[in-house]
Structure 1
Amino acid sequence: MLGTLRKIVQEVNAAKDLKIALGIIVQRVKEAMHSQVCSVYLLDEDVNRFVLMATDGLNKRAIGKVSMAPNEGLVGLVGSREEPLNLERASEHPRYLYFAETGEERYASFLGAPIIHHRRLLGVLVVQEKERRHFDEGEEAFLVTMSAQLAGVIAHAEATGSIAGLGRQGKKVIRDTRFSGIAGAPGAAIGSALVVLPPADLEVVPDKKIKEIEDELALFQAALESVRADMRMLSDKLANQMRREERALFDVYLMMLDDCALAGEVVKVIRTGQWAQGALRQVVGDHVQRFELMEDAYLRERASDVRDIGRRLLAYLQQARQQTLTYPDNTILVSEELSPTMLGDVPDGKLVGLVSVLGSGNSHVAILARALGIPTVMGAIDLPYSKLDGIELIVDGYRGEIIANPGDVLRQQYQTLVEEDRQLSRGLDLLRGLPCETTDGFRIPLWVNTGLLADVVRAQERGAEGVGLYRTEVPFMMKERFPSEKEQLAIYREQLQAFHPLPVTMRTLDIGGDKSLPYFPIKEENPFLGWRGIRITLDHPEIFLVQVRAMLKASEGLDNLRILLPMISGLQELEEALRLIYRAWAEVRDEGVDVPMPPVGVMIEVPAAVYLTRELARQADFISVGSNDLTQYLLAVDRNNPRVAGLYDYLHPAVLEALQRVVNEAHAEGKPVSICGEMAGDPSVAVLLIAMGFDSLSMNATNLPKVKWLLRQVGMAEAKELLTKVMLVDNPQVIRSTLQLALREFGLSRLINPGTVLKG
């Protein structure tokens, strides 16, 4: 079964469009199950009917014409119940529906399985036979497994057709095609998609028509020569380490690169007007598929050789394209997985939106996007992103939606929203010099989270009163090696001077989890519960000491440094870190640098630390809650996994209880407590946080004016009354609704419900 499944899925994956994919499905499933009929009915959501879209065995003239509602026919029954149906005498079932044009009266037995992709019903897969018999368990299991395997393929093919502007029959132009993701950074953007493909991944290379065929051929020839040179160099390098027959592999590679072999086939496809990368994907894919379907094990293994040659050629072609890459005005950057360096490559003023297939609203790229004020959608796992290049897109960072090929009406609505947001932002800028103070005189400092130099200017423009979290890992991630003490000193000095005399809280190196350094790779099966944060730096005191020494020296004469320790889960870690900090302080003073010992704080982001807050507060100078990780660990939800992103909610009652406990315990020891996660930048939630007693809130600079505006409209008494009300609720969705309803009654709905211009 597994071998047959693999072959069918491989063949279907290689199909150029949905029609061809469905044709392959019905033909191969019919053959595998030795049945007389196999058909696929797809659910047309516009009319809520199951439409016959492919068949092998029924009258093909019925394709696209025969359809039934969920309450009609056996297909409708399978779809509405979302479970298999196995009948020996199908025509005797009360739900049986006869269509003369299909010719199906000859078939007695019926087996149908629903096709479901991420809880969405796509259609029904059916096999039928003339003889009256009950399909056995193995056959039923095969069809159910087949439909589950094909669900993703069909969803992808449907989406690809929609993006290309074609309907199922390849005729009707489709506008306003929507794809759902996760809201990554608020705002809306309209622009042109620029797809950044992962390096040397042939499977995601899209088709692209070109006019300058000779230029494309020249690019391919240059790539060929580079790979040939690499092969010869490798062969010579390994000459003394391999036997002659083993070295013959390199001769095989060189033969594949010959003009009469694989390379010649690619040239032929380029001459039809296909770009080199697409031609390479097509030729290599055909060869790989043929090899993988062979019975002989040795020949099957040759597929990996062809794939390797293809990747090597693609790497050189991508490198050549990267050098000539042009970014359009209003660029919307689209990738399987966005990285901070991708954002940095876009020229100033051209980047308006971001779309990532992987990641969630709490991925670090999403956090960076919020800091930069770039509308972002993450976790768009059903988006055939490689087909988007050059397509007009709308990115809705409020709702987590991407809209391809927008029509005039929708485009105008979003242009209105973009302009509304621009005016709101200008209005909020007027608050810069005003304090964050409630209507009854309660004063709370608003700090910023920083990591890039660009954050400094943005934070100062928005009236930040200090830095609650400076992510020191960001400059580490920008380098190709660990930065020296001198390099770190210069970076930290710049931050401390920029905000002087306001406080700057520098978190010690926090890598691991979803933050890796290319020169310090960490491979773990469960990185978020593994070697990260303080665990790494305590295991490498040489890294920790250099960093702390650089921080201390950078603060000379400024005295606005605060040091924050991440991922602390117990007293032993805090005591060990404090010993190293005092050692670094002594070393710096011995060198003649006269700096006072800065305040040292502990991040509460591990559940264990919540229950040790009082003990930790006795030894630390301040407490800071990292709400992103604390929410993740309390709810056992990987915040980078789009499949469970809906379960990640910092308004979960357990999170609110934990936060209140931390504040109470820290204050019992007379220590200030701040919160520096994304939660603090949510204007409506900030009302709850001040009511809990947090002494300061730290957020991205983009949200700071919004938080300030809202907190200046409410009184502390109202905030505490609201907190009391939500703490009695046991459902995060109800808590959110309660919060928004209360603020709407205060007349503050514009900031808690952006995008109200959009209907439906």
Structure 2
Amino acid sequence: MLKTLQRIVQEVNSARTLDETLSIIVRRVRRAMKTDVCSVYLLDQDQQRYVLMDSMGLKKESIKQVSLSAGQGLVGYVGEREEPVNLDGATQHPSYVYLAETGEEKFHSFLGVPIIHRRRILGVIVVQQQEKRRFDEGEEAFLVTVSAQLAGLLAHSLATGSSSLSGLAQNNIHGSCFKGVAGTSGIAIGSAVVILPVANLDTVPDRVPEDPAFEIEQFRSALSAVRNDIHEVNRRLAQRLSEEERALFEAYQRMLDDSALGQEVINKIGEGNWAQGALCQVVTRHARFFELSQDDYLKERATDIRDLGRRVLAYLQKVDQDEVEYPQKAVLVSEEVTPAMLGEIPKEKLAGLVSVQGSSNSHVAILARAMGIPAVMGTVDLPLGLLNGQLLIVDGYQGVVFNNPSDELQIQYGNLMRAEQKLQKGLEDLAGLPSETLDGFKMPLMVNTGLAQDITHSLNHGAEGVGLFRTEVPFMVSERFPSESEQQAVYREQLEAFYPQPVTMRTLDIGGDKALPYFPINEANPFLGWRGIRVTLDHPEVFLVQVRAMLRASEGLNNLNIMLPMISNLREVAESITLIERAYKELCSEGLQLERPNIGVMIEVPGTIYQVPQIARLVDFLSVGSNDLTQYLLAVDRNNPRVADLYSSFHPAVLNALNTIARACHGSRCSLSLCGELAGDPRGAVLLMAMGYDTLSMNAVNLPRVKSAIRKLRKTDAENLLNQVLLLNTSEEVVASMAETMSNLGLSALLQPTLALSGPGSKTA
């Protein structure tokens, strides 16, 4: 049975339409179970009716013509119970409804299993037989397994839609709300413009070239054409982005150089693959290394690699793109929106963007923030094929997209947009003002950075330094470990930009889940494996080169802090400090004029919560990585849509853990900071200030809102709020209590504006 199930899933995976998906299911299940009938009924959410979408064994003319209201008949009975119904006398059951059109009155045995995806009923799969008998436990278990396996695939197929559904798919998305991830804060209302990928990297076969020299010539010609395209996009965005923000496109150009991806492709052609196959092989390999990263910021670099690869492939395949007509308020929608796509739309017409793939750390989300374009990423169930030209509301605060919203919902969001515009004008004046409460308590606010383009945002928003600089980027984009001088140049740029304010650099944080192309690590459980400080302590030659580069970069500036990631015990701290001290003394003996940097530890492994006093005696500062700590505490991957709803920074366990860390750190000479999304939420920032955190570090875009909240309350107000929420039992209670208190303090306008996801005229898809 397992092999049969695998074959069914494989066939469904390859189906191109919902009709094809359903046809495979009914044919394969009927054959596997040796039954007379197999049928699939899908629930039309608008009409609340189960529609017979396909069947093998019932009359063909009844397909898509017969339906039952929710709760009607045996199918409705299965949906209501949300569990299998197994009958040997179906016609005698009180819920049985006779439908002459189907010809099913002769089938006495009935087994119906609900198709459930994320707690939502999609439909019911039914098998029937003329023989009067109960299906045995093995048969029932098989059908339950089929339903569970196919629910996600069917949900995606249903969301994608098909023109052959007689309007069912269109009805299902009308007025719907599709959940994603907040990419860029803000709200946009406009018409969808769906852009499809220019070429498909996954469908190119390997092939031995007849003329390798000709293949190389074709490839270099395609590279040149893409360079020109990227240059043109860069030129178009020149008036909208700073020089630092446009550095992304220079990075694109460097990737195309003969010393980078370009040369690798040429080498693969020389080894016996044609240009298209060689390109796909190289691009896929590099993208995979980024995709394996646990760090969301680095994981999104795979999008950049694939975008470049598709553009080069399009020229190799001579793909011509149709000219796109953009409406006045265009919402760019694509399977994977890329920076180059962003640059191709006239600036005055782009209102928002929606990407099926990606996260808030993708380059396009970073650029959208710089341009002030609301964005929603990771809308995995979005029906791309049905959206072009339709009216969308893009809610970049909640990470949701409304399709064909009601007039009332449009009015509500229009009011939110006007309120936000008024608020933003007020926040612009805060950059030069101190982050200080009404009773004189100072709460320094810093930023998290990783690319050159992050610098300008941070300085413009009044950041008081860098709380986290990710040093992995130069390692991830190289074909070897970058040299000491190469690293020094990257680090110096950051230190100079923020001088004299402090810059905290995290040492190399790689591991089994964040492999380098030239340093692969394969483990059964990479999240709990050889990673972070464990790798660099095992390879002191890598650690020492990086530390020396940091120290050299700090000469004459002396605003460097060094932070150690993924620490889980005191021995790792002591060994790391010994190596840093060694590098420092060596450089001083070479004649460099250096000050010893402050050394700190990231608290992101739950075990370190109970070692804070001991660790604090060894280092100068502690910095809580709230995103990872929350994921580890709650055992929730926030990027997994199946469990993302369980992730909450306001979970009582998380808040109590953060408070425990702060209390344990009090009385030591060690300073305490927090870098993560919680710091960038005014509610979280207020609680952390009350707990006693010395500094907070966040994305630059959130800094003005947090500063405004701090400047409008007293520290005693924050402490009273903290005392209230620490007694609560659920995340929902915490959020509600905070909303009420902040409203009483006059801070409601600073909270992210929200409407209920199931607001008027809408429903969750």
Any conservation in 2 of the 1:445–1:465 contact (CA below 8 Å)? yes
Q: Are 1:556 and 2:552 an aligned pair?
A: no
Q: Are 1:201 and 2:202 an aligned pair?
A: yes
Alignment coverage as a number of residue pairs: 660
Which residue number in structure 1 is paired with residue 451 of structure 2?
Answer: 452
Q: Which has the larger radius of gyration?
A: 1
- Letter paired with 1:539: D
- Letter paired with 1:491: V
Any conservation in 2 of the 1:378–1:400 contact (CA below 8 Å)? yes
Q: Deviation of residue 169 (structure 1)?
A: 5.8
- Letter paired with 1:664: R
In structure 1, runs of 5+ residues without a counterpart are: 203-219, 234-252, 258-276, 278-312
Which residue number in structure 2 is paired with residue 600 of structure 1?
Answer: 599
Task: Compare 59-68 and 744-753 and name the one that shifted more.
Answer: 59-68
Task: Compare 560-569 and 64-73 and name the one that shifted more.
Answer: 64-73
- Letter paired with 1:74: L
Which residue number in structure 1 is paired with residue 139 of structure 2?
Answer: 139
Which residue number in structure 2 is paired with residue 509 of structure 1?
Answer: 508
Secondary structure class of the residue paired with 1:43: strand
Q: Are 1:729 and 2:725 an aligned pair?
A: no
Which residue number in structure 1 is paired with residue 45 of structure 2?
Answer: 45
Any conservation in 2 of the 1:194–1:388 contact (CA below 8 Å)? no
Give the distance between the partners of 2:364 and 2:648, measured in 1 at CA. Answer: 16
Q: Are 1:534 and 2:533 an aligned pair?
A: yes
Q: Deviation of residue 699 (structure 1)?
A: 0.7
- Closer, same or farther: CA 671–150 of 1 in aligned 2, 3 Å: closer
The sequence identity of aligned pairs, in percent, is: 53
Which residue number in structure 1 is paired with residue 582 of structure 2?
Answer: 583
Give the distance between the partners of 1:540 and 1:586, measured in 2 at CA. Answer: 20
Which residue number in structure 2 is paired with residue 79 of structure 1?
Answer: 79
Give the distance between the partners of 2:477 and 2:507, measured in 1 at CA. Answer: 16
Which residue number in structure 1 is paired with residue 673 of structure 2?
Answer: 674
Alignment of 1:411-426 (within 5 A): 421-426=420-425
Alignment of 1:358-377 (within 5 A): 375-377=374-376
Secondary structure class of the residue paired with 2:55: strand
- Closer, same or farther: CA 580–84 of 1 in aligned 2, 3 Å: same
Give the distance between the partners of 1:70 and 1:387, measured in 2 at CA. Answer: 26
Q: Are 1:652 and 2:664 an aligned pair?
A: no
Which residue number in structure 2 is paired with residue 283 of structure 1?
Answer: none
Which residue number in structure 1 is paired with residue 316 of structure 2?
Answer: 320
- Closer, same or farther: CA 24–476 of 1 in aligned 2, 3 Å: closer
Give the distance between the partners of 2:318 and 2:558, measured in 1 at CA. Answer: 45
Q: Deviation of residue 123 (structure 1)?
A: 0.9
Give the distance between the partners of 2:461 and 2:651, measured in 1 at CA. Answer: 30
Q: Deviation of residue 725 (structure 1)?
A: 0.4
- Closer, same or farther: CA 395–524 of 1 in aligned 2, 3 Å: farther
Question: TM-score under structure 2 normalisation?
Answer: 0.77
Task: Compare 503-512 and 633-642 and name the one that shifted more.
Answer: 633-642
Residues 226-248 of structure 1 show CA distances to partners (whole Å, capped at 9, x for unaligned) of: 75557999xxxxxxxxxxxxxxx
- Letter paired with 1:71: G
Secondary structure class of the residue paired with 1:102: coil
Any conservation in 1 of the 2:620–2:670 contact (CA below 8 Å)? yes
- Letter paired with 2:316: A
Which residue number in structure 1 is paired with residue 244 of structure 2?
Answer: none
Secondary structure class of the residue paired with 1:463: coil
Any conservation in 1 of the 2:199–2:313 contact (CA below 8 Å)? no
Which residue number in structure 2 is paired with residue 90 of structure 1?
Answer: 90
Give the distance between the partners of 2:578 and 2:746, measured in 1 at CA. Answer: 52
Q: Are 1:443 and 2:439 an aligned pair?
A: no
- Letter paired with 1:113: V
Q: Are 1:473 and 2:472 an aligned pair?
A: yes
Give the distance between the partners of 2:547 and 2:752, measured in 1 at CA. Answer: 43
Give the distance between the partners of 2:713 and 2:525, measured in 1 at CA. Answer: 43
- Closer, same or farther: CA 408–139 of 1 in aligned 2, 3 Å: same
Secondary structure class of the residue paired with 1:546: helix
Secondary structure class of the residue paired with 2:458: helix
Alignment of 1:188-337 (within 5 A): 188-189=187-188, 192-195=193-196, 200-202=201-203, 227=209, 317-318=313-314, 320=316, 332=332, 334-335=334-335
Question: TM-score under structure 1 normalisation?
Answer: 0.78
Any conservation in 2 of the 1:186–1:370 contact (CA below 8 Å)? no
- Letter paired with 2:95: R
Task: Compare 431-440 and 468-477 and name the one that shifted more.
Answer: 468-477
Cα RMSD of the aligned pairs, angstroms, is 3.8
Any conservation in 2 of the 1:585–1:597 contact (CA below 8 Å)? yes
Q: Deviation of residue 460 (structure 1)?
A: 0.9
Alignment of 1:164-179 (within 5 A): 168=167, 175-179=174-178
Give the distance between the partners of 1:78 and 1:472, measured in 2 at CA. Answer: 54
- Letter paired with 1:77: Y
Secondary structure class of the residue paired with 1:26: helix
- Letter paired with 2:22: L
Any conservation in 2 of the 1:683–1:707 contact (CA below 8 Å)? yes
- Closer, same or farther: CA 359–643 of 1 in aligned 2, 3 Å: farther
Give the distance between the partners of 2:108 and 2:532, measured in 1 at CA. Answer: 64
- Closer, same or farther: CA 652–171 of 1 in aligned 2, 3 Å: closer
Task: Compare 435-444 and 383-392 and name the one that shifted more.
Answer: 383-392
Residues 236-280 of structure 1 show CA distances to partners (whole Å, capped at 9, x for unaligned) of: xxxxxxxxxxxxxxxxx99xx9xxxxxxxxxxxxxxxxxxx9xxx
Alignment of 1:111-190 (within 5 A): 111-161=111-161, 168=167, 175-189=174-188
Q: Are 1:434 and 2:438 an aligned pair?
A: no
Task: Compare 184-193 and 528-537 and name the one that shifted more.
Answer: 184-193
Give the distance between the partners of 1:574 and 1:432, measured in 2 at CA. Answer: 37
Secondary structure class of the residue paired with 1:611: helix
Q: Deviation of residue 679 (structure 1)?
A: 1.0
Give the distance between the partners of 2:384 and 2:520, measured in 1 at CA. Answer: 28
Q: Deviation of residue 459 (structure 1)?
A: 0.8
Give the distance between the partners of 2:413 and 2:319, measured in 1 at CA. Answer: 34
Any conservation in 2 of the 1:165–1:172 contact (CA below 8 Å)? no
Give the distance between the partners of 1:226 and 1:411, measured in 2 at CA. Answer: 56
Any conservation in 2 of the 1:438–1:714 contact (CA below 8 Å)? yes
Secondary structure class of the residue paired with 1:550: helix
Give the distance between the partners of 1:454 and 1:365, measured in 2 at CA. Answer: 10
Any conservation in 2 of the 1:161–1:168 contact (CA below 8 Å)? no
